[in-house]
Structure 1
Amino acid sequence: MDDETVADNLRQLGLSEKEIDTYLTILEHGEAKASTVAEDAGVSKRYVYSVSEKLDERGFVDVIDHVVPTTIRANPPEEVVAALTSDLESLQPELTTRYGNVSEQEREFEVIKTRTTIMKRIRGLLERATEEVTLSIPASLLEEVEDELRETVDRGVLVILLVTGDDTLPAERFEGIASVVRVWGENAPLIVTAERRLGLFAPNEMLVRSNAGTQGIAISQAQLVPIIVGSFFGNYWPMAEQVYVTNPDDLPRTYTDFRHAVLQSTLHLEDGREIAISAEARPVRTDDYATVEGRLVGVRQSLLEPTRDTFAVENALIVEIEAADGGGGDGDEGEGEDGDNRTVTLGGEGAFVEDYETKSVTLEPAS
């Protein structure tokens, strides 16, 4: 470690330039008179006495003033470092307590300056996810979060994965670490969201190049994270090639994440299965939830190829119900052939184009 690095580290401990020069001079002598230190450090003798008292209080030196002339002795560096470390460790519990008392409102936005912190935040989001994760990540970093991705999938979380910078990875590479995977040879920003309320964004160069001079941002705000999700599906997902899709779930199963229900509905329909749906839903722009039951007859979605959406990022389930059921949906598909049934559309949280906004969806084989 050169002299400038040593000086930089001492500055971080709160020492001024003159204090650093004085302390390093004392260190070089081990023990010396104030006049000797003053001459070698280029400061006054009075300043040496003043600074030495401060350094003594912090444990850097001992001022030996019970003899004449007064001398100043440097404490062994290992003892100084041990004492400083102990002080910092004793401070941690208090800082942690105060940090834990900060409200979520105060932590809605966090600027992230290092790649190490970015990767730590990705792992944290994956570990906390209970329903849905979207992740755009450079192929070179995939291995660093692979274990967390596998654990997330094992918990039954929907994981939508976009791998960028390499479009040659084989399908078997993704077995068990995602629900749907697309690859794109171009570089794209890092994007992570969990449960539509926690998000992380960072420029690609921050992750693949050291000293890029760029920063990332973490967001914890339910009103803004869906915008990041929309950017993921609207701007980057369509550009990539689908390489892996999970197998259909065993039914019956209930989904509180609507996108997950759409994915599984699509997979079962593509396999030619008849599926019955029971959804806790409410007609859009109303407050009263009720049960909507019927037969799944179609899906509008942009998750899987071939997509069947009528506008960007659309996700909807088309359900045939008995005409007397449904509690107020107008339906957009007309009556069934026998005139007794009609079709309605179910959307997810915040739906306004579909007939119903759903809270949960249960899929089961039709009897």
Structure 2
Amino acid sequence: MDDRTLNDLLRRFGLSDKEIDTYLSLLAHGEAKASTIADAAGVSKRYVYSVSESLAERGFVEVNDHVVPTTIRANPPDEVINRLRADVDAIRPALEERFSRVERQTEQFEVIKSRVTVTKRIRSLLADAVDEVTLSITAGHLPEIRDSLVEAVDRGVLVLLIVSDAGTAEDIEGELDGVASVVRTWSEAMPTLLTVDAAAGVVVPPELLRRSNTDRQAIHFSQEQLAPVIAGSFLGNYWPAASEVATADPAPLPAEYGNFRQTVLQATLRLRAGETPHVTVGGRWTDDDEPVEVSGRVVESKQGMVEPTTNEFPVENSLVVETDEGETVTVGGQGAFVEDVEADLVRIEADESGPDETDAGNVAGDE
């Protein structure tokens, strides 16, 4: 080990640079007078006495003041190491007791100043999507992320897409195949808003994507409290103003979903195809928080994802289920309180009395 590395390690045990020089000189001499060590370490004799007392308290040296002149002896390294190890072991229980085991917080906000970085962040977030994506993107920039959207849809992710700053559906018709579960267009320019799995996303002002010399900046966030707010604004303010131009075919059955918006969309598409999907819902009663499993036929959905909308407020998504026992139960998603049941997991199957559905497609197309 070189001197620099040795000095760095000794500093970790609280020794100052002069204490290290004094101690290493003592090690080289074994035992010596203060004046000898002072000359070797380049410090005063008085300082050697002071440092030696400090080193002796920590077990590094032993001061023999019963002789004249006083001598200072370095303790064997094994003794020093064993004492340091014993000190470390002694403090371990107290440190463990005080240590709070929490997950390391990821960076919650990042300021983005370039279009290239915005595109990279969007692609990265889409690649990580598991359950749900809400996205508004300009027609001009849709081709840059189109492949990432198609891959997300192919993985079974619910993708609700607004293509903004678009002329007519025909202008972007070739870009819409397979890019989303539902696509809407809006002729006006709007911010690029992305949320992924209600946990992360980006907010980009229109100017940043339109001009290279703007001082406007985008925000990339990773915060579970913020993402639902952005998604709520997207669905409540922008989604109703846009026009529906494409909807994916229902996914093949049976299918199981933890994302309730996806459940409602799939059930709605089945209902509008003249089918009566059968669901098994695992969740809890909203009035007493007791666990429950509900099984029955979906007879109605309330939603605003596809036309015609049937919800009473923008973010309402619920199912009306006629149970196998003949009762009518309303089912909502996470945080439901108006409905009878808050669903955690829903399995959708073809109704036994209906046709056997095995090969429904999952590619977006114009309605």
TM-score bucket (shorter structure): 0.5 to 0.7
- CA displacement, residues 15-67 of structure 1 (integer Å, 9 cap, x when unaligned): xxxxxxxxxxxxxxxxxxxxxxxxxxxxxxxxxxxxxxxxxxxxxxxxxxxxx
Task: State the structure with more CA Rg.
Answer: 2
CA displacement at 1:106 relative to structure 2: 4.9
CA displacement at 1:315 relative to structure 2: 0.5
Note if 1:236 corresponds to 2:234: no
SS at match of 2:271: helix
Counterparts of residues 1-367 of structure 1 (less than 5 Å)? 105-170=105-170, 171-284=173-286, 286-322=288-324, 341-367=326-352
Partner amino acid, structure 1, of 2:212: S
Q: Percent identity?
A: 47
TM norm structure 2: 0.65
For structure 2, the residue ranges without an aligned partner over 5 or more in a row are 1-102, 353-367
CA displacement at 1:347 relative to structure 2: 0.9
Partner amino acid, structure 1, of 2:279: I
Give the distance between the partners of 1:283 and 1:212, measured in 2 at CA: 52
Query: Stretches of 4+ moved more than 2 A in 1?
Result: 103-106, 169-173, 285-290
CA displacement at 1:285 relative to structure 2: 5.6
TM norm structure 1: 0.65
Partner amino acid, structure 1, of 2:244: Q
Give the distance between the partners of 2:119 and 2:146, measured in 1 at CA: 12
The 10-residue stretch of structure 1 (167-176 or 356-365) with the greater mean CA deviation from structure 2:
167-176
Contact 2:301 2:310 survives alignment (8 Å): yes
CA displacement at 1:222 relative to structure 2: 1.3
The 10-residue stretch of structure 1 (348-357 or 268-277) with the greater mean CA deviation from structure 2:
348-357
- CA displacement, residues 66-120 of structure 1 (integer Å, 9 cap, x when unaligned): xxxxxxxxxxxxxxxxxxxxxxxxxxxxxxxxxxxxx753511222222111111
Give the distance between the partners of 1:106 and 1:123, measured in 2 at CA: 19
Partner amino acid, structure 2, of 1:189: P
Give the distance between the partners of 1:348 and 1:113, measured in 2 at CA: 37
Contact 2:280 2:293 survives alignment (8 Å): yes
CA displacement at 1:184 relative to structure 2: 0.4
Give the distance between the partners of 1:261 and 1:167, measured in 2 at CA: 32
Q: How many equivalent residue pairs?
A: 249
Give the distance between the partners of 1:143 and 1:182, measured in 2 at CA: 16
CA displacement at 1:173 relative to structure 2: 3.1
Give the distance between the partners of 1:192 and 1:297, measured in 2 at CA: 32
Give the direction of change, closer, same or farther, for the CA distance of 1:285–1:167 in structure 2 (3 Å limit). Answer: farther
For structure 1, the residue ranges without an aligned partner over 5 or more in a row are 1-102, 324-340
Give the direction of change, closer, same or farther, for the CA distance of 1:166–1:285 in structure 2 (3 Å limit). Answer: same
Give the distance between the partners of 1:203 and 1:287, measured in 2 at CA: 42
Give the distance between the partners of 2:348 and 2:318, measured in 1 at CA: 14
Partner of 2:358: none
Contact 2:143 2:175 survives alignment (8 Å): no
CA displacement at 1:356 relative to structure 2: 1.3
Which structure would you say has the larger RCO, counting Cα contacts within 8 Å and 6 or more residues apart?
A: 2
